[in-house]
Amino acid sequence: MNASNQFDAKCCIVIPYKDNSHILARCLTSVLSSAPVTTLIVVVDDGSQVSGKDDRNLTDFLSDRRLHLLQHIENLGAGAARNTAIQWCDEQGVEIVILLDSDCSVTTGFVETHCSLHTQYPEVAVFGGAVRGVGAGIWADLDNLMSWFTSIPNAPLRDVDGLYHIPTTNMSLKLKALSQEIPLFDAHLRTGEDVQFVQRLRRNGYKLKFSPQPEISHYDRQSFADFLAHQYRWGLHTFILRFPQFQHHKLARFLLIILFVLLLPVFAIAASIITILPWLRQSLKYWWYFPMILCVYLYKGLAVIAGTYNPQLATNQKKF
């Protein structure tokens, strides 16, 4: 694409990670083989046990002049890692930042398509692309359905509004347009920083869009334990995202817990419908997953209760 020529030198891909460098290596293989030679890649080591600069799985990648390694001495969370990289990008004069998780892979044209979208829609500050879940078995299928229902491949181009946000992976940002919002992510949140980020930008009047291209692959969780643990972690941040003003008020949290317990079936049914509807627009075959999704949301309700009782579980803060 001709539009990519003017952007490549000012484009940077940001990838945070902690441990599991073999997974990061798979991601970097796809990124370095597909990104234009002038695209920067920033990897943030968020407190790995083996420092990124000493990790044998990363030795060959670190010799690529496009790749820059930033490091946190201790684990600060994905939001803080992205903030560190974005601050670096801002200082380097980068115009377009593309966020990517370490357990993803991309194909040729990934960078060029993001840059072309920003050229075509100069009024849009943030684009989210499609995410295709990859993995074998029922738990990977459920992980795909419940994690990426806001970013379904082949879904139509749309404004990001209403109930459907976009995840941070495969998200690109016009950095200058967002300069007043830096740091972009709430570093206190362990999970849900993408939801909070999207909510804040929409509240502040920025335009966000989802586009079915570019599409990336995400390696979803294939074991029952990993799947449930991920769903539970996401349930923990529900309270602090929806009711941050009450996080220090024990009585208010207690009353909210009572109300939520009474409404738990309603919560599970509504959340399941919101999750399955975008998939049903693709194919009615997804109906048979509805009972399983409903059961998972009932389980996530336990995490919502735990996160309301103790908001610290969803954050990096030490006390409430």
Instruction: Calculate mean pLDDT across residues 275-299.
Output: 96
Contacts with 69 (C-beta within 8 Å, 6 or more apart), sequence order: 42, 43, 45, 52, 53, 58, 62
The third-level CATH classification (topology) of the domain covering 2-219 is Spore Coat Polysaccharide Biosynthesis Protein SpsA; Chain A (3.90.550)
Residue 189 has what pLDDT?
Answer: 86
What is the predicted pLDDT for the residue at 161? 86
pLDDT above 70 as % of the chain: 96
Q: Is the pLDDT of residue 313 over 60?
A: yes
pTM confidence score:
0.91
- In this predicted model, what pLDDT tens digit does every residue of 76-123 receive, in sequence order? 999 999 999 999 999 999 999 999 999 999 999 999 999 999 999 999
> 36-53 in b/e burial notation, b at 16+ Cβ within 10 A?
beebbbbbbbbbbeeebe
User: Where in the sequence of the chain do the CATH 3.90.550.10 domains occur?
Assistant: 2-219
Q: Is the pLDDT score of 75 beyond 80?
A: yes
For range 190-214, the mean pLDDT: 93
Phi, psi of 218 (to 5 degrees): -120, 130
Query: What is the CB-side half-sphere exposure of residue 235 using CA atoms within 13 A?
Result: 23
User: What's the pLDDT tens digit per position in 14-69?
Assistant: 999 999 999 999 999 999 999 998 999 999 999 999 999 999 999 999 999 999 99
* Cα distance between residue 203 and residue 140, in whole Å: 34
| pLDDT score of 1 more than 50 | no
What is the pLDDT averaged over residues 207-227? 96
Q: With a cut of 80, say whether residue 242 has pLDDT above it.
A: yes
Alpha-carbon span 312 to 111, nearest angstrom: 37
Beta strands in 110-204 (DSSP E): 126-134, 158-159, 171-174
User: Residues 125, 206: contact at Cβ < 8 Å?
Assistant: yes
Q: How far apart are CA 236 and CA 212, in angstroms?
A: 29
Please determine, for residue 135, whether its predicted confidence score (pLDDT) is greater than 90: yes
CA distance 90 to 20: 28
Residue 316 is predicted with a pLDDT of 67
Checking phi first, is residue 167 left (phi over 0); if not, alpha (psi -120 to 50) or beta?
Answer: beta
